Structure 1
Amino acid sequence: MQENPIKSVLKQLMKEIIWSRCRHKKGEKRDICCFSTRRGGSTWFMEIIGVNRGIRYLNQPFSIYSAVSSHHIHLLPKTDYGEFIHLDKNQLEELKRFCKALFAGHVVVNTPWRIWQHEFDFRSSRLVLKIVVAKAMIDWFDSEFDVDIVYSTRHPIPVSLSIIRNGWGLTVQAYLKNRTFMEKYLTETQINFCWDVLKKGTLLEQHVLNWTLENLVPLKLLAQHPDWIYVSYEKTLLEPEVVIEDLAFRLDLEDIERMKKIANIPSLSTKHLSTKQVRSLLLGHTRTPEQTQFLIERWKKDVSPDEEKRAMEILEKLEAPVYVYGETVSRLDTKLTS
């Protein structure tokens, strides 16, 4: 149901008034950049980390689709489909200038505004940036700024099904038309394969291709950066305490109990974009192992084995087999814990 236009304007005005009162003074701990995929648990991870005292999260500050004002849009580099892949010199300068303003607290966008909630605070000393449209630049953020890097994934088929259900479009062409990206990460055979999927593949296959291209750079670079923190949506559902305690240790977070509590609350995006059955299970504080497994595997009822196999062959063809046919959890979880 679409929100009343007048109510929407008043709500945005209230947000901007509250944000104008927020104050940020950088502390000793590094800010955090969380790279993820839309409908991949990105908001959930951001909120789990952001619940710590002194931390303020910024929800997709680089996305033109979630920009809060024309001024916000004006500050961002203009790119194909809003994706940051390989930017030219002027675009990089724009992005760097915007990032510096964010980290300094001079620009406050898409941050908590509900002042009546217990977790809200006008002051912060550490920032968490949820980044969905710039995964291909993960190493640039790592080298340009003194930040902690968190990279998360969720199985591409449920991600794709959720995106399709919500009627969101593809960003594939932004990658296939970026010469530097193609030359660096794809062979000519792989490029031809991608175009073939885009032209002849099913909608599910096209979105799985989208997921793979979006995640190709961090997946290729992850092994070279042991300091980057990898976490999967599936493992966080299966072993929330293990994941949260690891995040707390590596990111120097102190409010572990608050993190565990927020892990059992559906994220803001889940409340609006997931089914009622999923929301009720995510809200359950005492989920059975069977219910948790259902949350991870529920997508299987919507695709045939042949559809799953064809979709997962895309990851194999592009040499990014973090998830494979017949399995529902990330292979990186097994590799990192073995």
Structure 2
Amino acid sequence: MTPAAPAEVRDKADVLEHPRRPPLWRRPRYRALQRAQRTVWGRVFVDRGGDQRDTVWVVGGGKSGTTWIAEFINHRNDHRYMFEPLTPPYVPEFAHFRRGQYLRPAQADPRFADPMRALLTGRLRNRWADHLNCAPVAERRLIKDVHANLLLRWAYDNLPGVRIVMVIRHPLAVIVSRMDTAPVVPFHEFDPEPARFLEQQDLVDDFLAPHVHGIAAASTLVEQHAYWWCIENVVPLRQFRPGEIHIVCYEHLRWNPEREVQRLAAYLGTDLSSAQTKLRRPSRTAGYGGSLSRGVDPGTAWTKRVDSSEVRAAMRIVSAFGLDELYGDDPRPRVDDISKVMAAVA
């Protein structure tokens, strides 16, 4: 038995449409034109931005909506767009970083500090990271990453002025999407591999000591994915206070875009009101045939994919980290503004 969602949310989950013709931006000729454009501007471009103060860093767990939100912010293609530079093994400068690397704010080891500075100040150039860039000349840069959550406080303290937008989405929505995607992506990118967190002693000492036994004992994929989701979110939520970074709740942006766009625009110091229709467009990395193309709300689709025992197992772990203040066993977030619980989670 799947958990019951609120009526107004459940209505969204039950809407199904016949598969439609792919939108213009997903048709082969248009995508071929995009690829040609990116081939040029991903290699030959001018980054006229200054230091990290000209950088917007959109971060969050994989499958949490980071690409969708990054493309919305960059809807005019007026930023140099850097795509997942920390995703192994594409960028040599980050080859020694773990997937889910943690850095204490005082970490000064140049093996970690130097590539981070090069990235956030725009000095890094890499064919993979720049392959989606469509701006031949840009005075601002937008970096989108899904393996950076545990690096945020280091960046905030050591490179002041970088604007950080962190995306958070319901744990079960993320878990279901990652489990669907894991078999078809290279390099085990969506395998939970909880040992990678336990092997980082600083991370264990600072945040994970009460959870070591549970992480090591997690035997099902749902449990392992739940720990992954908790770790990548609890660390920044405990490290930051409201206003230091901006938190975007995927569900709030999906269901109440006007309010969330206003908040995001205020943080970035820009006007995004005229671009709200862009939120209807799936991201470039969303597979055609996914929830939106089938007429299903991606904020609620997971409720039809997990049974009650899986929900209980995941939410037990979420509760152990104190993150049940944010999400429960239905799709709707429990708070209107997630930043209100920053630094207060257990």
Is the Cα–Cα contact under 8 Å of residues 48 and 138 in structure 2 kept in the other structure? yes
What is the rounded CA distance, in whole Å, between the counterparts of 2:39 and 2:261 in structure 1? 32
Is the Cα–Cα contact under 8 Å of residues 56 and 143 in structure 2 kept in the other structure? yes
Code of the residue aligned with 1:22 in structure 2: it is F
**Deviation string, structure 1 residues 167-209 (Cα, Å, up to 9, x no partner):** 2311321111211111111234x21112111xx3x21121111
**Number of paired residues?**
297
Match of 2:260 in 1: 243
Code of the residue aligned with 1:251 in structure 2: it is L
Deviation for aligned residue 1:133: 1.1
**Deviation string, structure 1 residues 17-50 (Cα, Å, up to 9, x no partner):** 5333200112696421112010110101111112
Q: Unaligned stretches of 5+ in structure 2? A: 1-33, 183-189, 342-346
SS of 1:58's equivalent? strand
**Deviation string, structure 1 residues 98-148 (Cα, Å, up to 9, x no partner):** 23333444333433657xxxxx43011111111211211211111121211
RMSD: 3.0
Is the Cα–Cα contact under 8 Å of residues 50 and 121 in structure 2 kept in the other structure? no
What is the rounded CA distance, in whole Å, between the counterparts of 1:64 and 1:212 in structure 2? 21
**Compared CA separation, residues 78 and 148, structure 1 to 2 (3 A):** same
**Compared CA separation, residues 217 and 209, structure 1 to 2 (3 A):** same
Is the Cα–Cα contact under 8 Å of residues 86 and 178 in structure 1 kept in the other structure? no
Match of 2:180 in 1: 165
Of the three residues 168, 176, 198, the one matched with 1:153 is: 168
Match of 1:144 in 2: 158
Is the Cα–Cα contact under 8 Å of residues 25 and 105 in structure 1 kept in the other structure? no
Match of 2:85 in 1: 61
What is the rounded CA distance, in whole Å, between the counterparts of 2:97 and 2:50 in structure 1? 33
Deviation for aligned residue 1:94: 3.3
**Compared CA separation, residues 256 and 24, structure 1 to 2 (3 A):** farther
Q: Which has the higher contact order (CA 8 A, sep 6+)?
A: 2
**Compared CA separation, residues 44 and 79, structure 1 to 2 (3 A):** same
User: Does residue 100 of the first structure (1) align with residue 114 of the second (2)?
Assistant: no
Deviation for aligned residue 1:96: 3.0
Code of the residue aligned with 1:111 in structure 2: it is D
Of the three residues 47, 52, 75, the one matched with 1:24 is: 47
Match of 1:295 in 2: 298
User: Does residue 204 of the first structure (1) align with residue 222 of the second (2)?
Assistant: yes
Of the three residues 198, 203, 215, the one matched with 1:194 is: 215
User: Does residue 268 of the first structure (1) align with residue 271 of the second (2)?
Assistant: no
Deviation for aligned residue 1:97: 2.4
Query: Normalised by the size of structure 2, how large is the TM-score?
Result: 0.76
**Compared CA separation, residues 40 and 277, structure 1 to 2 (3 A):** closer
1:79-158 equivalence runs, <5 A:
79-80=97-98, 82-86=99-103, 92-109=109-126, 110-111=129-130, 113=132, 120-145=134-159, 146-158=161-173
Deviation for aligned residue 1:52: 4.2
**Compared CA separation, residues 277 and 13, structure 1 to 2 (3 A):** closer
Match of 1:213 in 2: 231
Is the Cα–Cα contact under 8 Å of residues 160 and 208 in structure 1 kept in the other structure? yes
What is the rounded CA distance, in whole Å, between the counterparts of 1:207 and 1:278 in structure 2? 24
Code of the residue aligned with 2:46 in structure 1: it is R
**Deviation string, structure 1 residues 269-300 (Cα, Å, up to 9, x no partner):** 1136xx4443343xxxxxxxxx6xx4322211
SS of 2:281's equivalent? coil
* Greater percentage in helix: 1
What is the rounded CA distance, in whole Å, between the counterparts of 1:231 and 1:83 in structure 2? 20
Query: Normalised by the size of structure 1, how large is the TM-score?
Result: 0.78
Identity %: 19
**Compared CA separation, residues 60 and 54, structure 1 to 2 (3 A):** same
Code of the residue aligned with 1:24 in structure 2: it is D
SS of 2:270's equivalent? coil
Moved more, 36-45 or 100-109: 100-109
Match of 1:320 in 2: 323
